[in-house]
Structure 1
Amino acid sequence: MVYILVLIFLFILELFYFKLADRFNIIDRPNQRSSHNTITLRGGGVIFYFGALAYFIWSGFQYPWFFLGLTIMTIISFLDDVFTLSNKIRLVVHFSSVLLLAYQLVLFEMPWYYLLIGFIFVVGVINAYNFMDGINGMTACYSLAVGALLMLTNYKINFIAHDLLAFTLLGVFVFSFFNFRTKAKFFAGDVGAVAIAYILLFALGSLILMTGNIIYILFLLVYGIDAVWTIIRRLYLKENIFKAHRSHLYQLLGNEVACNKLLISFLYGLIQFIVGLFVIRFSNESLSDQLIFSLALVSLLSLIYLTIKSYVIKKYIITKI
């Protein structure tokens, strides 16, 4: 009953935001990086935050430092969606939010390199999540896949409050209703991509720290492969990696090959979910078996990724020049 009430509340809230964004002209105009060609409302992913907020209030204010970091990260990302803030302001807020996340995870009581590694990883994943939010349904499908994997693992290990994940994913379901369409009602915006990445990273960090098992990082493998190999290729071509582009595999498939973009988003999520099931299966094996499995999995997916991307570039891009 609680889940049904939260779902109804979030759905009504999303409808209200739809009217608000339309009233105040919170829109996404097509640019060089865009995979859409019409003006669309943006910022609908703010519902992820309100899903977490509903849990925070309902739980009696559990995880206060995490939620404080999520709040200021969400606010600054939403303002950036509306006004386009300077990079310095965003960096300061993101830095503060990551420190609050680290404090909630008790990283300050661990050796200093835990904090350094955690900081680099969190910042990297948040930016990758934002970069990968480029076509309809991508953030929704991938977040549902990762969230489902975390919930499955939580049933066995109980590393985090289950309802935090449940309430957040209810927000993702609501967003999917408006976004997983050929013509989306609105986009997640920076606020959505950043907020859901922050929430999932908190859960993933809790899992890794409780179990001491780094293999769970592979719950983000599909995004990681696309993001890392794209950066490597752009560095090799001496391109500015901070400049907007459309060279991720999902962008090439959707824009150059003209594949169905909803199908691409669904497959990204499905592949990650299947990979995650194998990760859960191997999480109880010996360290050496986990290492062999991880290297084999990363190598296999990288080979498939690079083969497909090379084929697309040669057939659909080079031939057009």
Structure 2
Amino acid sequence: MKEWLIFNDLILLCISVGVFLITLFVLPRIRKTALKFNLMDSPNQRSSHDTVVPTFGGVAFYITLVFTLFITQLLDTNDITISLLVSLTIIFFVGLKDDFHELSPKMKFLGQVVTVLILMSQPEFLVYSLHGFFGIQEIHPIISIIFSSFLFLGFINAFNLIDGIDGFASITGIVIAGSYGLLFHSIGNYYFLAICVAVISMLFAFLRFNFSSKKKIFMGDTGSLLIGTILGLLTMKLLSLGGETYSALAIYRKEIPLLILCILIIPTFDIARVIYIRVTQKKSIFSADRNHIHHVLIDAGLSHKQASLLIGIINILIVVSMYFSIKYFGIGFSLLLFFVIILSLIYTFFVMNKTYFAKKKKVKFRNFLINCLSTFSLKHTANHNNYRLLLKQKIRSFRIFFF
């Protein structure tokens, strides 16, 4: 047993160092090739950068993931490596095609569906039960396939959408992979732990170039789709495990979905917020805009690095607080805490958002407050117009809604 653990640790060390060095070695050469053939990402009205930047950093991700799977197949007890490699290859070419020449949303989504269905052919990624979370126990097999595929596709797109500023997707991916890595280590699943280690090493190496002013490169859709697929796969694996597997975590199985939801809070909140805004503006949910949370942070005056690090720290604090809340206070208090976290995020980004659409919403909210206060106050009977003007000045004096 001791020898087996040492063997596993050696594999993890080999993957960590190997992936980091391969990524550092490959990225400059990809950047050089992109510059040579003018494979650049040009800024537009939605961009958060103002110069052309080489893309295709995701090609390095694919190379390192193939290297990782070649080594981790020694730990693969369920023969899923081939399915995973085929799926990653499909999504790699979908992203590569999109980086070369922008694909239509339908074709891009079709490629994602094929990728997900191949992985969903493996029973160990299907969620057959929520183990009492919100009172849900067993799930019908057909519903399980639909539900699992929907979650998987949703996460791939959510992660793809947050890749909008330097370091944002990478730091979010590191936090998610790090959290999952701790969970897989606790339950003794070294195969998926090795994948988590590879993702962390790969993204740390990528940040060296993504934050650079002279050697900058973007991961592109190739990279964000690959990382989204890997992290989505890890999510489905954790959700599909049985209750007895989580005894080492000292929390109940039914509480795991809430913990995972907090780990994924950034991409989940961002895609939910963007869909809401697009629907209320009567636009297609696939339309492009500047309503993502990273756009809000940049428009509020933060640099790319500041915004990315801030979100990463917030994500870590949410995960840690939720884990200890579940462990020591139970599911009831933790659900209340989650509700407070969501309200805090909604309020924060509502306040910080300075777009035209957001300002219109704030004006409506300000008028709603004025109407409520003037209706329930007796003072307005003497001089209604003057009192409303006084209320408007008082509300503006708080300067929390940028009125």
Would you call these one fold, judging by a TM-score over 0.5?
A: yes
Distance 1:240 1:88, change over 3 A: closer
1:156-171 equivalences under 5 Å are 156-159=186-189, 161=191, 162-171=193-202
Q: Specify the alignment match of 1:226 in structure 2.
A: 270
| Superposed displacement of residue 248, structure 1 | 1.8
| Superposed displacement of residue 271, structure 1 | 0.9
Aligned partner letter, 1:123: L
| Superposed displacement of residue 172, structure 1 | 0.7
User: Does residue 272 of the first structure (1) align with residue 315 of the second (2)?
Assistant: yes
Q: Specify the alignment match of 1:257 in structure 2.
A: 300
Counterpart secondary structure, 2:225:
helix
| Superposed displacement of residue 105, structure 1 | 4.9
Distance 1:259 1:88, change over 3 A: closer
Q: Percent identity?
A: 24
User: Does residue 78 of the first structure (1) align with residue 84 of the second (2)?
Assistant: no
Q: Specify the alignment match of 1:54 in structure 2.
A: 67
Q: Relative to structure 2, which stretch is displaced further, 196-205 or 57-66?
A: 57-66
Aligned partner letter, 2:291: S
Give distance in 1, aligned partners of 2:282 and 2:215. 34
For the 8 Å contact 1:218–1:276, the answer to whether it is kept is yes
Q: Deviations over 1:86-137 (max 9, x none)?
A: 4443333211101122223535694222221222222222112122111111
Give distance in 2, aligned partners of 1:250 and 1:229. 12
Unpaired runs of 5+ residues, structure 2, are: 1-12, 129-140, 244-252, 364-401
| Superposed displacement of residue 144, structure 1 | 1.0
Distance 1:10 1:181, change over 3 A: closer
TM-score by length of 1: 0.88
Q: How many residues align?
A: 318
Give distance in 2, aligned partners of 1:35 and 1:301. 22
Distance 1:129 1:25, change over 3 A: same
Larger-Rg structure: 2
Aligned partner letter, 1:120: F
Q: Deviations over 1:175-222 (max 9, x none)?
A: 111002456611111011111111111112111211553111221112
1:99-248 equivalences under 5 Å are 99-107=117-125, 110=128, 111-159=141-189, 161=191, 162-181=193-212, 185-210=216-241, 211=243, 212=253, 213-215=256-258, 216-248=260-292
User: Does residue 294 of the first structure (1) align with residue 338 of the second (2)?
Assistant: yes
| Superposed displacement of residue 296, structure 1 | 3.3
Give distance in 2, aligned partners of 1:235 and 1:181. 37
| Superposed displacement of residue 272, structure 1 | 0.9
Aligned partner letter, 1:48: F
For the 8 Å contact 1:81–1:189, the answer to whether it is kept is yes
| Superposed displacement of residue 268, structure 1 | 1.2
| Superposed displacement of residue 311, structure 1 | 9.4
Give distance in 2, aligned partners of 1:287 and 1:209. 20
For the 8 Å contact 2:53–2:218, the answer to whether it is kept is yes
Q: Specify the alignment match of 1:35 in structure 2.
A: 48
Give distance in 2, aligned partners of 1:310 and 1:24. 38
Give distance in 2, aligned partners of 1:57 and 1:51. 10
Give distance in 2, aligned partners of 1:185 and 1:133. 15
User: Does residue 6 of the first structure (1) align with residue 19 of the second (2)?
Assistant: yes
Aligned partner letter, 2:144: Y
Distance 1:224 1:259, change over 3 A: same
For the 8 Å contact 1:14–1:174, the answer to whether it is kept is no
Distance 1:183 1:124, change over 3 A: farther
Q: Relative to structure 2, which stretch is displaced further, 180-189 or 195-204?
A: 180-189
Give distance in 2, aligned partners of 1:87 and 1:248. 18
Q: Specify the alignment match of 2:28 in structure 1.
A: 15
